[in-house]
């Protein structure tokens, strides 16, 4: 794979680009170019080019380790649930590769993430959720919600519902719509799959 707009000898954070590496192939067949890098700490590693360009990758991992050690010794909260959520957020973003990033201030500072969370509804019973389970972990795209709310949002997609009077209703979250209208979500899913003609006079189909 070609380096594309990554230039041999260019620096990205602590990373010096040395040359091309074997591309990353996703399970769906997507191809993401990778490059061979030298970190300022002396370690050589490979990185996805997109992650270097966007700043998601700034080092071989040594920067994150240094940051973790620093915040662990300064805020005294490394054993708290919120700190675990912060680490989990960064780990999930890394596991998702190029499809998900973390707000730079949050990625580098637990206290920044903590202060935003406390000001935006956090408590120890909630989970950090992305809106629609899509996009990056950033202030305008995440919320603190219950596990049930997160599952409901993650499974949301677009539907076209026709009520008993023949009116067509565009619906994004079928579970929420069913709760509001006193309908059984399971029965509505059966209708959408053709296993049942109607439910209380309603029909529904998924909009692809």
Task: Express each pLDDT in 20-66 by its tens digit.
Answer: 898 888 888 888 889 999 999 999 999 988 888 888 888 998 887 87
Averaged over 74-94, what is the pLDDT?
A: 86
Averaged over 174-201, what is the pLDDT?
A: 90
> Three-class SS of residue 135?
coil
Percent of the chain with pLDDT strictly greater than 90: 41
* Averaged pLDDT of the chain: 85
The whole-angstrom separation of Cα 52 and Cα 6 is 9
Q: Which residue has the higher pLDDT, 96 or 36?
A: 36
Averaged over 166-187, what is the pLDDT?
A: 89
Q: Give the CATH number of domain 159-206.
A: 1.10.10.10
What pLDDT score was predicted for residue 1?
A: 41
How do residues 97-145 score in pLDDT, each as one tens digit? 556 889 999 998 888 999 999 999 999 999 998 887 778 999 999 999 8
Kindly list the domain boundaries of the chain, sorted by start residue. Answer: 11-60, 63-153, 159-206
What burial letters (b/e) apply to 98-124, b meaning 16+ CB within 10 Å? Answer: eebbbbeebbbbbebbbebbeeeebee
């Amino acid at each position: 794979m070609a380096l594309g707009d990554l230039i041999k000898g260019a620096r990205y954070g602590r990373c010096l680009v040395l040359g091309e590496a074997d591309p990353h192939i996703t399970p769906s067949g997507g191809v993401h170019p990778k490059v061979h890098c030298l970190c300022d700490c002396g370690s050589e590693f490979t990185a996805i080019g997109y992650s270097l360009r966007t700043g998601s990758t700034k080092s071989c991992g040594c920067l994150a380790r240094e940051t973790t050690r620093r915040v662990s010794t300064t805020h005294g909260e490394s054993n708290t649930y919120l700190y675990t959520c912060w680490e989990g957020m960064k780990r999930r973003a890394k596991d998702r590769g190029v499809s998900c990033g973390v707000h730079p201030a949050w990625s580098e500072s637990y206290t920044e993430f903590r202060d935003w969370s406390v000001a935006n509804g956090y408590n120890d019973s909630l989970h950090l959720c992305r809106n629609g389970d899509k996009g990056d972990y950033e202030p305008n795209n995440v919320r603190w919600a219950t596990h049930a709310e997160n599952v409901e949002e993650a499974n949301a997609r677009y539907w076209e519902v026709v009520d008993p009077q023949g009116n067509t209703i565009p619906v994004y979250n079928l579970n929420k719509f069913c709760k509001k209208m006193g309908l059984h979500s399971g029965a509505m899913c059966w209708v959408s799959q053709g296993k049942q003609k109607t439910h209380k006079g309603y029909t529904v189909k998924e909009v692809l």
